[in-house]
Structure formats: structure tokens, C-alpha cells
Structure 1
């Protein structure tokens, strides 16, 4: 049977036309998809700017489905999920990104950091730590170390926190000497006296201007019965961190009385009060004066002198407590009302977040900031 070449000559043009038509249809579909994906993306941005996060997420999911290879859409979607507290969905998005073989090194590091932030937001500290450790040597190294520092502080792992703080300081990320001294003080609290004293002395060497190491050392010395040494430590505190004296004014009076150094303590406290009129310092002074035999009327006049210098409801309530009123039968009710009104003014307030507490904290329980509590009470700020 002879093969007819005419069929080949006829089929070639037909195949060419069909191929051309197919390419045109694919090109049109590609252009249509490219138009739809950015449209969905910008729609999501618009919803996000208008704080309509639910609609923004729907728009980004639509955009990701139409263009699954665009990493930026995945990052936007993952960050939205994390902000809304949907950490499981955020983790899935960022883990999907990390599983892609075509992801650039920069986007891989970015995905790893985002995944670590997801775990941190979810409170999965061990998984967050593992994810952050993988970012050593990347562009996210400094940020990952700061996040690790937060994790170790929250878990009270002071040795690892100290290691990370040292790395941050040596990489020119700022001074962490104050935090290092706190970490040493925290470690000292769990040690026997001799080891604790060594750690506190190291903390003083690390941050000579920090108040806490000397205060903790003075407490340790007082507990051991070394009141002379405790007073010397508090005297050194008055020189290195004079603003912290109101925190230890009563302790100064106590150790000085035990060591027979009342005159020296009065001199130290009077100098502090002359510089800053703190009621805590004044009451320590009054306690020493009463024990030394100063007439009670003269002692109580110090409250009036304080009121001339500072408007203090607490001082007024303390003065009225020892006075006889014209209608003395109503004194208890008046005193209770004054004390009730004055109680909130005796608190300490975090300068970073405003969290108030009856006691002074070195690290705020609310925002976790260090040294954010002034040594003076709310009324005196």
C-alpha cells in the first residue's frame, strides 16, 4: 500500500494552527489569573487597613489558592493568623513554607523566625526555643536572641539567660550589665549563704551602680548577724545608688541600732531626706529619734514639716492618728476613712506599664520590664 504524502502536507498547517490557538488560550488564562491574584491581594490589604481582619483573611486565602507559589501572601496570612491568636493555623502556614524546596535562603530564615514567633505566641516555649536556636548566624540572629532571652526569663532559667545576654552585649546590641546583675541575684537566692555572697559580690562587680546586689547582700549579712557589715554595705549603697535609700530606710535603722551606729544612721538618713523628701526615710528617722529619747511632740512635728514640703495624705493621716480631735468620739471613723483613702497611695507603680503593687518589684509582674519600679511610692511620684 502506497503512503500518500498529501496527508502530511495537509496535517502540518492544521497542527500549527491548533498549537497556536492552544498557546493563545493558555496566555489569556495566565493573564486572567495574574489579574485576579493581585486583585484578591489588594482587596485583603484594604480590609486589613480598615481593621476587618476576618475579611482580610478570606481575601488572602483566595489569593494564595490562585497563586500558591507567592511566599509574600503566605507571610501576610500567617501573620494575620498569629495576631488573631489562631496560632495553629499560623504554624501550618509557616511550616508549609519551610517544606517548599524552591524557597530562597532569605525567605527560609524569615519563615523559621515567623514559626518561632507562632510557638512563642502559643506559649510553647520549648518548641519556640528550638526554632530560635536554628537562626544563629542568620539575619534574624539578634531578634532570635532577644526572644530567647525573654523565654529564659519567663522560665527563670537564669544561667541560659546570662549566656544569651552576654552574646547580645558582645555583638553590640546594647548594655546588659543591669540584667546580668539581676540574674546573679536570682541565682544567689537559691544558694546557701557562702555561695550566695560570692554571687552577689560578682553582681556588684558586674553593675556597680545597681541597687539590688547591695540590698540583697545587706539582707544576707543581717541574717547572719553581721550588722556592722550590713550597715557598711548600705552605706556604700547610699553612694552608688542614693535613689534606692527609701527601699531600705527601715533596714538601715534596724541594723544600725543592732550595731550601735544610730548616729551614723541618722546622719545618712537625714542627708537622704534633705535631698529627696521620702516618707519612708522620714519614718525611719522618726523611729531612731524615738528610740534615742527625743520627745514625742518634737518627733510628731516632723510630719507637719513634711506637709509643708510635700502634700501628703499619708503623712496627714499619720499625724492625725496621734492627735486628739475636738470631737474625739468620731476619731475612729475619721481615721478609718483617711487610712482607706491613703492606702492606694502607698503602692509602687511600674513606669513601663502602670501595674501597681503593694511591694516593690525588681521585675514588673505585668510587663516583665526590669528596674521599672521607682523606689518611691505612688503619692510621691
Structure 2
């Protein structure tokens, strides 16, 4: 009994000493790891700021190895991979984060959001769509819906795009009426291409309801009427376009003139085009107007007036066509206007362009003012290339 007590008293300080030594060793090891982790982190950050992404990635990988439970390091590493186009590695990093059971809710949502963008950048649109849908009801729901809208538009899934746009508008993100009108117009054109006239008409009506001031539904409606030989109905649609969106009317100005000729409404169309040109002068409206103008003198005067206000190659070309069709020689003022129009059109082409950065200048430089490169300017102007 005395022997056992003696050994027990002797063993107690020995065990205490061994435990104290082991704890000191663990503490030193922990301190070394703690020092190594922030050092590697700051080293990676410094390399990233110096745009040395390859070395920064190596430093962040080292930091993650020292502290595998730090989610911020994983996010930094995943974002670096994505920026470099290494989408598979970015996906693995964010999937590893999501697999952790101890990850907080906000960090899990952040990882899900990052993973969805990885899929999108990698072109894995189906998986990206699923990942973005999983963010519904989170702090990233608005961003996820905007991404889903972009995905549906890229995939030409117009009905789901419309639904997402409605959700965004209902959530107060902004107005998406114009965008939805374009979606309905795309549906109308696809239906029209398949010969589904009723479906196309309904889609155009939905487009007009979504954005009553939108120009595109009226443009498409008139074009459909022309293809069906209903020129009067086409003119009515485009008359409405002229009233609502005069700036956009130039897109169909020449078609308007042709439809007016086809249904014998030349005079009425000429008066409307003259009134529109006075309000919104453009070459397209002018050429459409001249196609309905029977007086060659009036046509040439209109072209001259346009070139006086706005030098235009299209107007100069129209003047040449008038010369060839009427065989009436151009007078000196007309030639001067044509010369001014040609000089204005040629001016952007009389420049030198740096082959390295694209900097353009009227003068030749041996050293580019933009990128400071030497001999980067080809000794030929743009019009000679």
C-alpha cells in the first residue's frame, strides 16, 4: 500500500510536466499556423493587387490549406478562378463550400449565388437556371431573377422570360414593360414564321398591352399586312407608328411609300411624309418622300435642302440618281453640296489608327499618344487599308 502511494506521488508531477510540455508544443504549432495563414492571405492579396493572378492563386491555395475552415478564403479563391476563366475549378471550390454542414445560412446563400454564376460563365445554362432558382426568397433573389431573365432571353425561352420580368416588376425592381413587349414580339414573329396567324395576332396584341407606346409591335404588324397583300391595313398601322414614335418611322418609311403606291394613296402619303420630315428630318423619310414626288425639280430641291442642313452621302447619291434619270445636268450649287457631303463622309476615314490600342488621329505619330508604343501606326490612312 505504501509502495503504491509512493509511485502515485512520484507519477503525478511527471504526468503534469508531460501535459504542460504537450500543451506548449500544440500552442506553438497553432501560433505558427495562425501566422502562416494570414501571411499567405496577405501575400495573395498583394499579388492580386499587382495583377499577378497566377501567383495570387497559389498563395490563396496555401492559405486555404493552412485554414480549410475559413469560407472567405474559399470565396476569394473561387472568384479568382472564375475571373481567369477556370470555371471548373471555381465550381469545385464553391461546391466544396456548400457541402460543409457547419456553413452559416448567409454564407451558404452566398456560395449558392457564386456557384450559379460559375455555371452561367461555364455555359452550363441548365445547371445555372437550377442554381439561380434555388436562391428564391434569399438576399440574392433579385440578382437571381435578373440572371434568369438573361438566361431565358439567351435561350429564346420567351414565355418564362415574361414570367420572370413580371416577378421583377411586381417586386419593385423597375419597369420591364418595354422588355416584355419585345418578348411578345419575338413570340409573334416565331408564330408568323410557322404560319400561325392567330397566335401571332394575339402576341402582338399582348405586346401593345404591355407597352402601348412601343414602336416594334406596329412595325411588325404593318410588315405582316404587307406580306398578306393588305396594304391599306399596313398604312393604318404605320400611321399610328408615325403619330406615336416619329423617330422610329424611318425604319419603314420606304415600305410605307411602296404600300401607298400599291393601294393608290400616293397623295395622302406624300402629305404625311412631308409633315413628318418637317418634324423629324431623316434621309430615309426624305428618300421615301421623293419616291412619291412626281416633280423632279421638287425632288432635287428637297435633296439640296437636306444636304445644306446635314451633309449626307445618301442624299448626294439621290442627287446623282436624279441626274441620271432626268438627264438634267447638275448646277454649281448642287456640285458644291455634293462635295461638302463627300468631304464630311470621308473625314473619319482620313485618319491613322494605332495597331496596338486603336487610338485614331488625323496626324501620323511615331509614338502612339494612347499606349506610348513606338512604330505602332501603320503608315496608311484608314481609307487605304
**TM norm. shorter chain > 0.5:** yes
1:141 maps to 141
Residues in 1 aligned to 2:44 and 2:251: alpha-carbon distance in whole angstroms: 53
| TM-score calculated relative to the size of structure 1 | 0.82
Report the alpha carbon displacement of residue 89 of structure 1 after superposing the two structures with TM: 0.5
Contact 1:230 1:255 in 2 (8 A): yes
Contact 2:246 2:280 in 1 (8 A): no
- Give matches, 1:1-381, under 5 Å: 3-191=3-191, 192-289=196-293, 293-294=294-295, 296-323=296-323, 324=329
Residues in 1 aligned to 2:4 and 2:249: alpha-carbon distance in whole angstroms: 111
Report the alpha carbon displacement of residue 41 of structure 1 after superposing the two structures with TM: 0.7
Deviations 1:287-335 (A, max 9, x none): 011xxx32x2331232111111112133223323544589xxxxxxx99
Q: Secondary structure at the match of 1:186?
A: helix
Deviates more, 1:256-265 or 1:6-15: 256-265
Contact 1:38 1:63 in 2 (8 A): yes
Residues in 1 aligned to 2:34 and 2:271: alpha-carbon distance in whole angstroms: 80
1:359 maps to none
Contact 1:97 1:103 in 2 (8 A): yes
Report the alpha carbon displacement of residue 267 of structure 1 after superposing the two structures with TM: 2.4
For structure 1, list consecutive stretches of 5 or more residues without a partner in the other structure. Answer: 327-333, 346-381
Report the alpha carbon displacement of residue 119 of structure 1 after superposing the two structures with TM: 0.8
Residues in 2 aligned to 1:286 and 1:75: alpha-carbon distance in whole angstroms: 64
Contact 2:207 2:217 in 1 (8 A): yes
Deviations 1:86-124 (A, max 9, x none): 011111101111111111111111111111111110111
Q: Which has the higher contact order (CA 8 A, sep 6+)?
A: 1
Deviations 1:200-221 (A, max 9, x none): 1221111011100111111112
Give the alignment's Cα RMSD to 1 decimal.
Answer: 2.3
Contact 1:94 1:111 in 2 (8 A): yes
Residues in 1 aligned to 2:3 and 2:138: alpha-carbon distance in whole angstroms: 68
Q: Secondary structure at the match of 1:117?
A: helix
Contact 1:208 1:240 in 2 (8 A): no
Residues 320 and 260 of structure 1, relative CA distance in 2, 3 Å threshold: closer
Residues in 2 aligned to 1:21 and 1:202: alpha-carbon distance in whole angstroms: 80
| TM-score calculated relative to the size of structure 2 | 0.81
Report the alpha carbon displacement of residue 190 of structure 1 after superposing the two structures with TM: 2.0
Deviates more, 1:311-320 or 1:166-175: 311-320
Residues in 2 aligned to 1:314 and 1:229: alpha-carbon distance in whole angstroms: 30
1:371 maps to none
Deviations 1:18-44 (A, max 9, x none): 111211221121122111111111111
Report the alpha carbon displacement of residue 273 of structure 1 after superposing the two structures with TM: 1.3
Runs of 4 or more consecutive aligned structure 1 residues displaced over 4 Å after TM superposition? none
Residues in 1 aligned to 2:11 and 2:214: alpha-carbon distance in whole angstroms: 91
Work out the number of aligned pairs and report it.
Answer: 331
Residues in 2 aligned to 1:262 and 1:223: alpha-carbon distance in whole angstroms: 20
Contact 1:109 1:138 in 2 (8 A): yes
For structure 2, list consecutive stretches of 5 or more residues without a partner in the other structure. Answer: 324-328, 332-337, 350-385
Q: Secondary structure at the match of 1:153?
A: helix
